[in-house]
């Protein structure tokens, strides 16, 4: 074995700057934007696992850096508040339901930092910009929601 000297994908682009690398220049210091949204489930609208919550619209070209997700309840005015059941979820788009990552149990009030996890079909690594404007969907799993409980989703991205 031996030591190696590596360069990150973005660093390498910066080291040999050419016209063709400009579109991704924002990865090395672009503005950060945030889409923040909240959603609360209700008995009348359906609570079962497999429910979908649309929690963001991202523009073409967005590169999601990370998301912060935590549970809320209307009774506590969106303060972090653990859900009754151990509901989990995925955060993604139509066609790749966990493109932006997996959300573990929301039965803990601690905010979760969610990282993108492309599946290699359309997006092969985390630096790939969105190819079109998308709706962001949180799909619940594992355990049904409880009424009046939900989640806050903050998606941080560059362009």
Binding positions for another protein, rule: CB under 8 A = 31-39, 41-42, 45-59, 68, 70, 72, 76-80, 111, 113, 135, 144-145, 152-154, 156-157
What does the alpha-carbon distance between residue 69 and residue 84 come to, in Å, rounded to a whole number? 16
Least distance CB 139 / another protein (angstroms)? 9
Helices (H) and strands (E) in the chain, counts: 1, 8
Question: Between 13 and 70, whose beta carbon lies closer to another protein?
Answer: 70
Minimum CB separation from another protein for residue 148, in Å?
Answer: 13
Q: Which two tokens stand for residue 158?
A: 């560059």
Shortest spacing between CB 3 and another protein, in angstroms: 27
Q: Residue 18: which residues within 8 A CB-CB, separation 6 or more? A: none
Cβ proximity to another protein, 13 vs 62, nearer residue: 62
CB of 18 to another protein, least distance (A): 28
Cβ-based nearer residue to another protein, 80 or 118: 80
Residues 6+ apart with CB under 8 A from 90: 97, 98, 101, 102, 103, 138, 139, 141
Residue 30 dihedral angles phi and psi, to the nearest 5°: -80, 165
CB nearer to another protein: pick between 102 and 141: 141
Question: Which residue bears the tokens 């997700």?
Answer: 69
């Amino acid at each position: 074995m031996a030591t190696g000297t590596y360069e990150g994908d973005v660093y390498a682009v910066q080291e040999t700057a050419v016209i063709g690398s400009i579109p991704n220049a924002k990865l090395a210091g672009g503005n950060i934007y945030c889409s923040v949204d909240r959603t609360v489930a209700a008995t009348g609208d359906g609570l079962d696992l497999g429910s979908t919550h649309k929690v963001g619209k991202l523009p073409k070209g967005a590169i999601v850096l990370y998301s912060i997700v935590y549970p809320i309840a209307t009774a506590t005015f969106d303060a972090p508040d653990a859900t009754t059941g151990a509901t989990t979820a995925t955060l993604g788009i139509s066609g790749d339901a966990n493109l932006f990552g997996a959300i573990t149990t929301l039965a803990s009030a601690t905010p979760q930092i969610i990282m993108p996890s492309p599946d290699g079909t359309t997006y092969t690594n985390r630096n790939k910009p969105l190819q079109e404007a998308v709706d962001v969907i949180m799909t619940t799993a594992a355990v049904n929601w409880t009424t009046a409980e939900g989640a806050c989703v903050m998606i941080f991205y560059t362009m």
